């Protein structure tokens, strides 16, 4: 499943059983890549055959990740409401300007990723790679900005409940951003393999969904950590 999802190709004959069950021959006109609606570079093949099953599983995975983040958000709110000493001694709050810039970069990268997916759908591989690479650069910028912020903070992981929550939440999200950039790098590399998209674009679609998910999670995190600083 993982190979067909990330590779964007479901392999020859992957749709044979469903077609036979429907009374169609696997080699019939509907399965030809050069026909409208077939599994061509710009078609919707990623949503048919095994690709559709893989995307369904991936959406379930994202739903489970959402529950984990929701639990962390709820714990943060409860701790903030109930802790008598919330901020570490000598800390009055978090600086917002630099995190806001990083947030704008990360959120904007979702639009760039969408442009890349649109270009791939139109068989414009050159534009796809350009927009995809720009998305990776914006994600890397965010990670570096987060690292710079960590190095400049006057508190650490062991400095009270706030310190533990802050580093846990931002660190866990940062791992997702890094994972997204690495998955994008894999998709970029595979885009140079001949025939990689003959079976559809499920891999790129899945990574795009993951990236949009990471961006939405950060918007919630930014509101909780940086905008909601009073008690």
- Would residue 17 count as lying in a domain? yes
Report angle CA 12, 188, 57 to the nearest 5 degrees.
Answer: 55
- Rounded (10°) angle between helices 97-121 and 202-222: 160
Task: Please check the confidence at residue 15 and state whether its pLDDT lies above 90.
Answer: no
Task: Please check the confidence at residue 22 and state whether its pLDDT lies above 50.
Answer: no
Q: What is the largest CA-CA distance in the chain?
A: 73
- Would residue 1 count as lying in a domain? no
Under 8 Å between Cβ of 188 and 208: no
- Would residue 49 count as lying in a domain? yes
Task: Give the span between the Cα atoms of 17 and 25, in whole angstroms.
Answer: 9
CA neighbor of 190 nearest in space, from 179, 181, 201, 174: 201
Task: Give the span between the Cα atoms of 195 and 133, in whole angstroms.
Answer: 20
- Would residue 3 count as lying in a domain? no
Highest average pLDDT, of 30-34, 49-53, 125-129, comes from: 125-129
pLDDT, tens digit (0-9, with 9 covering 90-100), for 118-171 = 999 998 999 999 999 999 999 999 999 999 999 999 999 999 999 999 999 999
Task: Please check the confidence at residue 225 and state whether its pLDDT lies above 60.
Answer: yes
- Of 59-68, 143-152, 180-189, 191-200, give the lowest mean pLDDT range: 191-200
* Residue ranges making up the domain that contains 195: 8-227
Percent of the chain topping pLDDT 90:
63
Task: Please check the confidence at residue 36 and state whether its pLDDT lies above 60.
Answer: no
Residue 40: other Cβ atoms inside 10 A: 19
| H runs (alpha helix) in the chain | 2-7, 16-21, 49-82, 97-121, 125-152, 160-190, 202-222
Task: Please check the confidence at residue 214 and state whether its pLDDT lies above 50.
Answer: yes
The pLDDT of 62-78, averaged and rounded, is: 96
What total number of domains does the chain contain? Answer: 1
- Local confidence band at 206 (pLDDT 50, 70, 90 cut-offs): very high
The enclosing domain of 212 has a CATH number of: 1.20.120.80
């Amino acid at each position: 499943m993982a190979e067909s999802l990330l590779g964007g190709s479901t392999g020859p004959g992957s749709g044979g059983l469903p077609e036979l069950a429907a009374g169609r021959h696997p080699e019939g006109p509907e399965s030809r890549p050069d026909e409208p609606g077939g599994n061509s570079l710009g078609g919707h093949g990623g949503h048919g055959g095994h690709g559709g099953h893989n995307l369904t599983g991936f959406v379930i995975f994202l739903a489970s990740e959402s529950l984990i983040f929701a639990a962390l958000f709820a714990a943060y709110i409860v701790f903030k409401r109930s802790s008598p000493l919330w901020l570490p001694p000598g800390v009055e709050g978090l600086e917002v300007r630099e995190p806001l810039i990083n947030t704008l970069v990360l959120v904007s990268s979702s639009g760039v990723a969408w442009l890349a997916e649109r270009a791939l759908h139109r068989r414009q591989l050159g534009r796809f790679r350009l927009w995809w690479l720009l998305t990776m650069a914006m994600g890397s910028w965010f990670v570096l900005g987060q690292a710079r912020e960590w190095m400049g903070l006057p508190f650490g992981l062991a400095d009270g409940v706030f310190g533990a929550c802050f580093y846990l939440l931002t660190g866990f999200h940062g791992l997702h951003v890094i994972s997204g950039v690495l998955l994008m790098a894999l998709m970029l590399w595979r885009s140079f393999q001949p025939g990689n998209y003959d079976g559809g674009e499920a891999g790129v679609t899945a990574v795009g969904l993951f990236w949009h998910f990471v961006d939405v999670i950060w918007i919630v995190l930014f509101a909780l950590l940086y905008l909601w600083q009073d008690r």
